Amino acid sequence: MRGSRLLERGPELAAAARAVGALVAEPAHGGGVLVYRGEPGLGKTALLAEIGRNARDRCTVLTARGDETHTSVPFHVTRRLLRPALEAGGGPGAARVVDLLSEQLDHSDDLDRIAAALGLAPPPPPPAAPADPQGVRGGLVRLLDGLAERLRDRPPVLLVDDAQWADAESLAWLDAFTRTRQDRGLPVLVVLAHRPPSSERHDPGVSATLAALGDRAVLTLGLESLTPEATAVLARDALGGHADEPFCHELWTVTSGNPYETVELLAKARERKVEPVAGSAALLRELGAGARGGGLVTRLEALGAGPTRLAWAIAVLGTDSTPQLLGALTGMARSEVAAHTDCLRRARIVTERSTEAPPTTPHARPTPTTPTPMPPTPAGPLEFTHPLIATAVYGSVPAETRTALHGRAARVLAEAGHGPAAASRHLLDVAPADDEDVVRRLRAAAVEHLAVGAPDAARRCLDRALAEPPGPETYAVVLYELGCASLLTAPAATVRHLRSALDLPGLDDALRVDATYRLAQVLAHSNQLGEAARTVATEAVRTPPGAGRRRLQAAHFMYEGFQAAEEDGPGRSRRLAELTADLTGADDAERALLAVRAFDAMLRGEPAADVVRLCDSALVDGAPARGLGWTDTTWGFEIPALTGIAYAFADRPDRAEALFGEAVRAFEISGWSGAHLAFAHTLLGLAHRRRGNLPRAQHHLEGGLRLADRVGRGLPVHWDTACLLVDTLLARGRTAEARDVADRYAFGPPWPGAIVLPDGPSVLGRLLLAEGRHEEAVHTLEAAAEALTVRGRHHVVWAPWPFDLARALAATDPARAARIATEAHAHAERLGAPTARGEALRCLALFATPAESRSLLTRAVAHLAASPSRYEESRARLDLAHTTGSAATLAEATSLATACGAVTARASTRPPE
For the segment 265-274, the average pLDDT, to the nearest whole number, is 87
Distance, C-alpha 798 to centroid of its chain: 32
Amino acid at site 160? V
Q: What is the pLDDT of residue 456?
A: 93
- Calculate the alpha carbon distances from 36 to 78, 603, 760 in Å: 19, 58, 49
Query: Of the ranges 241-250, 355-364, 685-694, which one carries the lowest mean pLDDT score?
Result: 355-364
Intra-chain end-to-end CA distance of the chain, in Å: 92
- Host H or E run for residue 53: helix 44-55
- Please state, rounded to an integer, the average pLDDT across all residues of the chain: 89
Q: How would residue 102 be classed by pLDDT, with cut points 50, 70 and 90?
A: low
Q: Is the peptide bond before 758 cis (omega within 30 degrees of 0)?
A: yes
Task: Give the model confidence (pLDDT) of 530-550 as tens digits.
Answer: 999 999 999 999 999 999 999
Q: How would residue 874 be classed by pLDDT, with cut points 50, 70 and 90?
A: very high
Strand, helix or coil at 462?
A: helix
Q: What percent of the chain has pLDDT over 90?
A: 72
Burial readout 366-385 (b: 16 or more C-beta within 10 A, e: otherwise): eeeeeeeeeeeebeebbbbb
Distance, C-alpha 206 to centroid of its chain: 15
- The reported pTM is 0.81
Euclidean distance between CA atoms 3 and 53, whole angstroms: 9
Q: CB-hemisphere CA count at 13 Å for 474?
A: 18
- Host H or E run for residue 156: strand 156-161
Q: What is the pLDDT of residue 587?
A: 95
Does the pLDDT of residue 748 top 90, yes or no?
yes
119 DSSP 8-state letter:
T
Task: Give the model confidence (pLDDT) of 765-778 as tens digits.
Answer: 999 999 999 999 99
Q: How would residue 95 be classed by pLDDT, with cut points 50, 70 and 90?
A: low
Q: How would residue 733 be classed by pLDDT, with cut points 50, 70 and 90?
A: very high
Nearest to 1 by CA among 64, 49, 53, 63: 53
Query: Under a CB-based contact definition with an 8 Å cutoff, are residues 143 and 26 in contact?
Result: no
Q: Is the peptide bond before 127 cis (omega within 30 degrees of 0)?
A: yes
Q: What is the pLDDT of residue 364?
A: 44
Q: What is the pLDDT of residue 94?
A: 62
Distance, C-alpha 516 to centroid of its chain: 25
Task: Give the model confidence (pLDDT) of 648-702 as tens digits.
Answer: 999 999 999 999 999 999 887 766 778 899 999 999 999 999 999 999 999 999 9
CB count in 10 Å sphere of residue 355: 10
Bigger pLDDT: 88 or 558?
558
Query: Under a CB-based contact definition with an 8 Å cutoff, are residues 427 and 445 in contact?
Result: yes
Q: What is the pLDDT of residue 295?
A: 66
Nearest to 484 by CA among 516, 439, 452: 516
Strand, helix or coil at 107?
A: coil
Query: Of the ranges 84-93, 243-252, 387-396, 619-628, which one carries the lowest mean pLDDT score?
Result: 84-93
CA angle (662, 118, 50) in 5-degree steps: 130
Task: Give the model confidence (pLDDT) of 794-818 as tens digits.
Answer: 999 999 999 999 999 999 999 999 9
Q: What is the pLDDT of residue 367?
A: 39
Q: How would residue 264 be classed by pLDDT, with cut points 50, 70 and 90?
A: confident
Q: What is the pLDDT of residue 1?
A: 30
Q: What is the pLDDT of residue 463?
A: 95
Nearest to 426 by CA among 475, 460, 384, 385: 460
Bigger pLDDT: 95 or 603?
603
- Host H or E run for residue 142: helix 133-150
Q: What is the pLDDT of residue 378?
A: 62
Q: How would residue 633 be classed by pLDDT, with cut points 50, 70 and 90?
A: confident
Euclidean distance between CA atoms 162 and 41, whole angstroms: 11
Q: Dihedral of the CA atoms 107, 109, 112, 117 (nearest 10)?
A: -110
Query: Of the ranges 340-354, 697-711, 748-762, which one carries the lowest mean pLDDT score?
Result: 340-354
Q: How would residue 640 be classed by pLDDT, with cut points 50, 70 and 90?
A: very high
Q: What is the pLDDT of residue 670?
A: 67
Distance, C-alpha 223 to centroid of its chain: 33
353 DSSP 8-state letter:
P
Euclidean distance between CA atoms 115 and 121, whole angstroms: 5
Query: Of the ranges 63-67, 145-149, 373-377, 565-569, which one carries the lowest mean pLDDT score?
Result: 373-377
Task: Give the model confidence (pLDDT) of 4-59 as tens digits.
Answer: 358 999 999 999 999 999 999 998 888 999 999 999 889 999 999 999 999 999 99
Task: Give the model confidence (pLDDT) of 811-869 as tens digits.
Answer: 999 999 999 999 999 999 999 999 999 999 999 999 999 999 999 999 999 999 999 99
The three-state DSSP-derived secondary structure of 597-649 is HHHHHHHHCCCHHHHHHHHHHCCECCECCCCCCCCCCCCCCHHHHHHHHHHHH
- Calculate the alpha carbon distances from 316 to 143, 330, 600 in Å: 32, 11, 59
Read off φ and ψ for residue 161, nearest 5 degrees: -90, 155
Strands of 156-161's sheet in order across = 60-65, 156-161, 186-194, 30-37, 219-222
Strand, helix or coil at 65?
A: strand
Q: CB-hemisphere CA count at 13 Å for 892?
A: 18
Task: Please return the burial class of 679, using the count of CB atoms within 10 Å of its CB with bins 0-12, 13-18 and 19+.
Answer: buried
Q: What is the pLDDT of residue 124?
A: 80
Does the pLDDT of residue 125 top 90, yes or no?
no
Does the pLDDT of residue 371 top 70, yes or no?
no
Where on the phi/psi map is residue 436: left (φ > 0), alpha (ψ -120 to 50), or beta? alpha
Strand, helix or coil at 364?
A: strand
Q: What is the pLDDT of residue 123?
A: 86
Task: Give the model confidence (pLDDT) of 139-198 as tens digits.
Answer: 898 889 888 988 889 999 999 999 999 999 999 999 989 987 766 778 999 999 999 876
Q: What is the pLDDT of residue 375?
A: 45
Does the pLDDT of residue 320 top 70, yes or no?
yes
Q: What is the pLDDT of residue 865?
A: 98
Task: Please return the burial class of 904, using the count of CB atoms within 10 Å of its CB with bins 0-12, 13-18 and 19+.
Answer: middle
For the segment 560-564, the average pLDDT, to the nearest whole number, is 94
Strand, helix or coil at 298?
A: helix
For the segment 277-287, the average pLDDT, to the nearest whole number, is 84
Euclidean distance between CA atoms 157 and 19, whole angstroms: 10
Q: What is the pLDDT of residue 115?
A: 86
Does the pLDDT of residue 289 top 70, yes or no?
no
Q: What percent of the chain has pLDDT over 70?
A: 91
